[in-house]
Structure 1
Amino acid sequence: MNTETCDPAELAALRELLASHPDAAPPAGWEAVRSFEAEHGVVLPEPYRTFVAEVGDGLRAGPPYYGLLPLAQTPPDWGAGRPERRLAEPFPLTEAWVWEDDEDPALPEEEFEAWTSAVFDHGSLLLGTDGCGMYWHLVVTGPQRGHVWQIAGEGALPFGSHVADPPMPGIPGFTGWVTHWSRGQDWFPDA
């Protein structure tokens, strides 16, 4: 997965899958993308960066269930009073963490709260929500840059993975994620 240079084949696939979608929003343009990046101290990973600038800045209807969010938006259920999003801070995870299953969390309560807050608010932008507090994030900083994660109150799982038996198998990255849902495939095929 190349997050620095936009692969023309990936962009063509995204264009084919989404540009003609009846609920597609117009592209944001390069000026808006560069302004967002400067404001947040990040460079968005490819091919998402070029997609938003040249193809479309979201979908008004799903998937994700409530649509692909425009750049810089949060879903209506994100909630007031959440900490400020810090995109330039590295995303803290490199593997799945289902904290709901942690019978004996190794972190004291205060540290646990700080870690889970960082998972939600550091190093990623929101792509959309499937409701019930399940959010799709595109990681923009850190070792998982370019990967899409589902983050919910129960834990955080990467979409697509190099590990054996990943909870959400598929081709990692924004294009793999879009291709997966555009084909109507299940997120958790073995569940």
Structure 2
Amino acid sequence: MESWDEDGVRGRLRQMAAADPGRERFGADTHRYALAPALPEAEIRAFEDAHGVELPAEYRSFVAQVGDGPAGPAHGLMPLTVPRAEAGEEWAVDDEWTEDRLPGRLAEPFPLTSPRPGRIGAPADALTRGTLMLAEGGCGMYVRLVLNGPRAGEIWQIDVDWAGFVPVSPGFRAWYTDWLRRE
């Protein structure tokens, strides 16, 4: 399993929070620069077994070593498993998060072999099978992790109305650390 510098990630999040006390940066009012505890190996394995998938190593190691969201790009990382209340607060999950967890959906083949830029004529559901929603960017934009096929491990963004479904990062580590550096 690829290792993360948990202290480095959490330290950088503390710096980001200190530099943005009013939570003015995009998404900060949602994720609050906070990370939930890491998930136990047994919980991650149970998720994989229940959905018939193997999570890409970079993402799997993040939720196992660093945390299960929410601090992250866009409005923050969605939790892998059922959201837990932290300090009396609830994580909001939307229909995309719930749809991902329907039986068999994550294990289906990812239908695209190349980007699909521009307005999408097909229902988004037909294109997002075999991907896990990582973050919601607002206005119908979602960031998704490809789980299987030749594009497995890549991060793609879907915007049904304008930009299509296109890759935005070669993997979870690059996507997340780019956000940490950029902010």
- Verify same fold: TM over 0.5: yes
Match of 1:132 in 2: 139
Deviation at 1:180, TM superposition (A): 1.5
- Over aligned residue pairs, what C-alpha RMSD do you find? 2.8
Residues 143-165 of structure 1 show CA distances to partners (whole Å, capped at 9, x for unaligned) of 111000111213101013xxxxx
Aligned to 2:117: 98
The aligned amino acid for 1:148 is I
Consecutive unaligned residues of structure 1, counting only runs of 5 or more, are 1-5, 103-108, 161-171, 186-191
TM-score (norm 1): 0.68
Greater mean alpha carbon deviation, residues 19-28 or residues 45-54: 19-28
Q: 2:166 aligns with which of 157, 166, 179?
A: 157
2:179, 2:98 → 1: CA distance? 31
Q: Using the alignment, how far apart are the partners of 2:60 and 2:178 within structure 1?
A: 19
Equivalent residue for 1:78, pick from 87, 91, 95: 95
SS at match of 1:33: helix
Q: What is the correspondence of 1:7-156 to structure 2 with a 5 Å cutoff?
A: 7-8=2-3, 11-12=4-5, 16-18=8-10, 21=13, 22-59=33-70, 61-64=71-74, 66-72=75-81, 76-78=93-95, 84=102, 86-100=105-119, 112-113=122-123, 116-120=124-128, 122-154=129-161, 155-156=164-165
Q: CA deviation at 1:94?
A: 2.2
Query: Which ranges in structure 2 are unaligned for 5 or more consecutive residues?
Result: 14-32, 84-91
Contact residue 78 and residue 93 of structure 2 kept, 8 A: no
CA contact (8 A) 2:72 2:176 kept: no
* Alignment partner of 1:182 is 2:177: no
Distance in 2, Cα, partners of 1:7 & 1:173: 13
Q: For residue 7 of structure 1, what is the amino acid of its counterpart?
A: E
Distance in structure 2 (CA, Å) of the matches to 1:69 and 1:39: 18
User: What TM-score results when the alignment is normalised by the length of structure 2?
Assistant: 0.71
Q: 1:112-164, CA deviations, whole angstroms, 9 ceiling, x for partnerless residues? A: 34xx42212x111111111111111111111111000111213101013xxxx
Q: Tell whether the 8 Å contact from 1:30 to 1:54 is kept in structure 2 after alignment.
A: no
AA paired with 2:68? D
Tell me the percent identity.
41
- Give the 3 Å change call, closer, same or farther, for CA 144–63 of structure 1 in structure 2: same
Counterpart residue type for residue 115 of structure 2: A
Distance 1:43 1:79 in 2: 20
